Structure 1
Amino acid sequence: MPLAAPLAITLGDPAGIGPEVILGAWAQLRAQRRAPPAFVVGGPQLLRGLAERLGIDCPTVPIADPAEAMFASAAGLPVLAGLDGAFTPSRPSPEGASLALASLQWGTKFALSGVAAGLVTAPIAKAALAAIGWDYPGQTEFLADACGRPYRDAVMMLAGPSLRTVPLTVHVPLAEVSALISAELIVHKARIVAAGLSRDFGVLHPRLAIAALNPHAGEGGKFGDEEARLIAPAIATLQAEGIAAFGPVPGDALFTPRARTGYDAALCMYHDQALIPLKALEFDAGVNVTLGLPIIRTSPDHGTAFDIAGQGVADPGAMAAAIVMAAEMATARAHAGA
C-alpha cells in the first residue's frame, strides 16, 4: 500500500550532522530505489549548498506545499521553501536553534493534520534550544505535549534489524532508578509497547521480555527485592490481560543471540540497559521510535555530533533506516485501520 501522504523530515540543528545525513540518506535510498515520498521541512539553500560543498549526489527540489512532495520526489529531495538560514558546521548558534525549532514545530503540525504521513526528526542541540527559551527535556516530550498526551505516554523504543529495546526510565541518575520503578509503570509502558508493535509493526501477538534490575534477577532477594516486589507482579498483571510478557530476565542473559529470537521487544529498567546492547549491535542502523502518540515519529539513534559536522564523514545509515521505518510504520498503521 503506497503512502497517502509524504513523510516530513525535520532539519535538526543545522550546525550538526543532521543536514548532511539527510542528504546522504536520501541519496542512498534513491540509488537503491527505496526512497518513499518525503520532504524536508525547510532549508532549501542550506541543503543545496551543503550537497555541493560535500559532493553529495542529492539534487534538491524546492516546494511550496507538502503535497508537491508526492511527485517532486522523483526529481530529487523535496525541500519546503520559506524556512532557511546560513550555518557554520560545529558551531551551534541561536539562529540555528531557531531554525531547528521552526522545522520541528511545522513538521509536527503537518503530521498532526495528516498532511504528512509521519515525522522523521534529525538531532537537535538541547542546550542551544534552551538558550532561546525551549524548556523541554527533548523532542519526545515536545511531541507528547504537542499531541496533548502526558509525557509518560510517549514511550521511547530503540529499534534495529535484530533488536528492539525500551528503557522504562531514561535520563535519570542510576541511583534513582529503583525508586522510580513501579509495577504500575511497567504495566503502563508494556501496554503501550504491545499496542505499538501490533499497530505500527504488524506484530499480531507481541512477545515482551521484561528485564531484571539486579544481578541474577536478585538471586532470591540476596541482591535486591525489586524483581519479586515490583517486576514479577507487573508481569502477572500483563499475562492476565493476555499480553505475552515474561521475566524478570537477568540483564546478562537477555541479549544473547538465542535469547533475542524469543521476544519482539525487551523492556529494560534503565537507560544504559536498553541502549548499550542496541548500539553495540545496531549502531549504524538504530532508530529511535516514539510509541504511544497519534502520529508516527522516528529519529536516528545518534546526536548532533558537532565534532565531525561538515566534514562529510557522518554515516547516513541510521537516518536512512529512520526514514524507511517511518514509511513502513505508516503503511502498517494504514493496514491496521483499513
Structure 2
Amino acid sequence: MAAAPLVLTTGEPAGVAPDITAAAWRALRNEPSCAFFLLGDAGYWQARNPDLPIGRIAEPAGAAGMFAAALPVLHRPLAQHPRPGVIAPGTAAQVIAAIDEAVELAFAGKVAGIVTNPIQKDALYEAGFRHQGHTDYLAHLSARHGRPVQEVMMLVADGLRAIPVTVHIALKDVPSQLTKEAILAQARVTARDLQHYFGITQPRLAFTGLNPHAGENGAMGREEIEIIRPALETLRQEGFDVAGPLSADTAFHAEARATYDAILCMYHDQALIPVKTLDFHGGINVSLGLPFIRTSPDHGTALGIAGTGRANPKSLIAAIRMAALMAKAAS
C-alpha cells in the first residue's frame, strides 16, 4: 500500500504559488517519497501553467499513482480567478478553507504532512483572519480538535536550525514578552521534535542573549541574568544539553554552528537574518509542536514577480523534501 501523500495548500493564488507549485512538481515528479497533491483550483492552476499536466483526484489516496505523470489536484474552486500580482479579496475564504481542510486531512490520517504555500495576511484579515500567521493558526486549529499545543517556528537553511522565542511582535515589546516560561516551553518542544522527526538522540541546544554581547554581565541589560540564565539552569537540571546565553554576533559562524543542533533566539530577526543570509532562496519554515507535520517556504507571496517565470521554487522544493523526510522518520 502506498504511503499517504503530502498535501500542498493553495496559498495566495495571485502570488507565486501557482508558479512554484508547477516547478516543484516538475523537480520532484520522479521522487515517489515526495508525492504531493494540491488542494486548490485545478482550472486556475492550469490557466497559470498552460503546459503543466494536471489531473483531478477524488481522494488524497489517488495522488501517488498519478504523481509521476501529472500534478494531482483535489479541486476546490476559487470564487474568482485573480490576475497574477493582483489580489482578489473574494479568494480569501478559499485560502483559509484550504488550510482548514488540510488540517482535517492530517487528523484523519489521509496525508503524511502539510506543506503550505505563502499567504497574503493583509488580504486574509479582511475575511476575518485574526492570527499572526500560519503557525499560530495551525495551533488554533489543533486546539479546536482537542489537541492544545505549544507551537514552535523553526527556520532551517544550510544546516542551521533557528527558533525565535518571540516572533511577530515589535522590537520594543520583546523585553516584556520574553519570559523564562516561554524559553522553557520552546526548548522542550524543540528537543522533543528534534528527537522524533530528525533522529537526534540528545539534541544540543544553544541560546542567544537578548542584548549586545549577551548583556556583558548586566552592563547592557539584565534579561540574560534575570530571565535567560535561570531558564537554562532549569533545562540543565532537567537533563538537557544547553549552551548560552551566547553573544548573537558570534553565534552563527561555521565553527559555532557545528557546536549545536538548534539555536533558540530571543526575537524574530535574530533568527531569520542568519537563515536568510545562509540560503535566501532555499530556507524553509518547519512548525514544531503540532500533532502533524507542517513545512513551508520561507518567503512571501512575491506578488511583483507572479506569473513572470522569475519565481525561484527552491524553498518550496526543500520544504516538500523536508516534510517527506520528517514523515519517514516518524513512521
> Is the 2:12–2:301 Cα contact (8 Å) retained in structure 1?
yes
Match of 1:51 in 2: 49
> Is the 2:39–2:76 Cα contact (8 Å) retained in structure 1?
no
Offset of 1:34 from its aligned partner? 6.4
Query: Please, which of 70, 73, 78 is the counterpart of residue 79 of structure 1?
Result: 73
Match of 2:17 in 1: 18
- Could you tell me how far apart the structure 1 residues matched to 2:212 and 2:141 are? 39
Match of 1:91 in 2: 86
* 1:35–1:117 CA distance, 2 compared to 1 (3 A): closer
Match of 1:251 in 2: 248
More displaced stretch, 135-144 vs 191-200: 135-144
Match of 2:39 in 1: 41
| SS at 2:168 equivalent | coil
* 1:145–1:3 CA distance, 2 compared to 1 (3 A): farther
Which residue identity does 1:156 align to in structure 2?
M
> Is the 1:193–1:291 Cα contact (8 Å) retained in structure 2?
yes
* 1:192–1:3 CA distance, 2 compared to 1 (3 A): farther
- Could you tell me how far apart the structure 1 residues matched to 2:254 and 2:32 are? 29
Query: Please, which of 23, 40, 60 is the counterpart of residue 54 of structure 2?
Result: 60
| SS at 2:155 equivalent | strand
In structure 1, stretches of 5+ residues that fail to align are none
Offset of 1:302 from its aligned partner? 0.4
- Could you tell me how far apart the structure 2 residues matched to 1:297 and 1:3 are? 20
Q: Is residue 120 of structure 2 the alignment partner of residue 125 of structure 1?
A: yes
Q: Is residue 230 of structure 2 the alignment partner of residue 236 of structure 1?
A: no
Q: Is residue 202 of structure 2 the alignment partner of residue 205 of structure 1?
A: yes
- Could you tell me how far apart the structure 2 residues matched to 1:14 and 1:199 are? 33
| SS at 2:214 equivalent | helix
| SS at 2:49 equivalent | helix
Match of 2:266 in 1: 269
Offset of 1:74 from its aligned partner? 2.3
More displaced stretch, 22-31 vs 280-289: 22-31
Q: Deviations over 1:222-245 (max 9, x none)?
A: 111111111111111111111111
Match of 1:108 in 2: 103
- Could you tell me how far apart the structure 2 residues matched to 1:98 and 1:184 are? 35
Offset of 1:113 from its aligned partner? 1.2
- Could you tell me how far apart the structure 1 residues matched to 2:330 and 2:216 are? 42
- Could you tell me how far apart the structure 2 residues matched to 1:299 and 1:241 are? 32
Q: Deviations over 1:147-183 (max 9, x none)?
A: 11557x1110001232010000011111111111111
- Could you tell me how far apart the structure 2 residues matched to 1:242 and 1:48 are? 53
* 1:25–1:216 CA distance, 2 compared to 1 (3 A): same
> Is the 1:42–1:81 Cα contact (8 Å) retained in structure 2?
yes
Q: Deviations over 1:184-218 (max 9, x none)?
A: 11111100000111111111111100111111111
Identity %: 45
| SS at 1:8 equivalent | strand
Query: Please, which of 137, 145, 148 is the counterpart of residue 142 of structure 1?
Result: 137
RMSD across aligned positions (CA): 1.6
- Could you tell me how far apart the structure 1 residues matched to 2:36 and 2:2 are? 10
| SS at 1:115 equivalent | coil
Q: Please, what TM-score do these two structures have when normalized by structure 1?
A: 0.93
| SS at 1:97 equivalent | helix
Offset of 1:3 from its aligned partner? 6.8
> Is the 2:32–2:64 Cα contact (8 Å) retained in structure 1?
no
How many residue pairs align between the two structures? Answer: 327
Match of 2:278 in 1: 281
Q: Deviations over 1:84-104 (max 9, x none)?
A: 452211111122222212221
Offset of 1:51 from its aligned partner? 1.5
* 1:251–1:34 CA distance, 2 compared to 1 (3 A): farther
- Could you tell me how far apart the structure 2 residues matched to 1:141 and 1:181 are? 17
> Is the 1:41–1:83 Cα contact (8 Å) retained in structure 2?
no
| SS at 1:80 equivalent | strand
* 1:219–1:11 CA distance, 2 compared to 1 (3 A): same
Q: Please, what TM-score do these two structures have when normalized by structure 2?
A: 0.95
Offset of 1:296 from its aligned partner? 0.5
> Is the 1:15–1:96 Cα contact (8 Å) retained in structure 2?
no
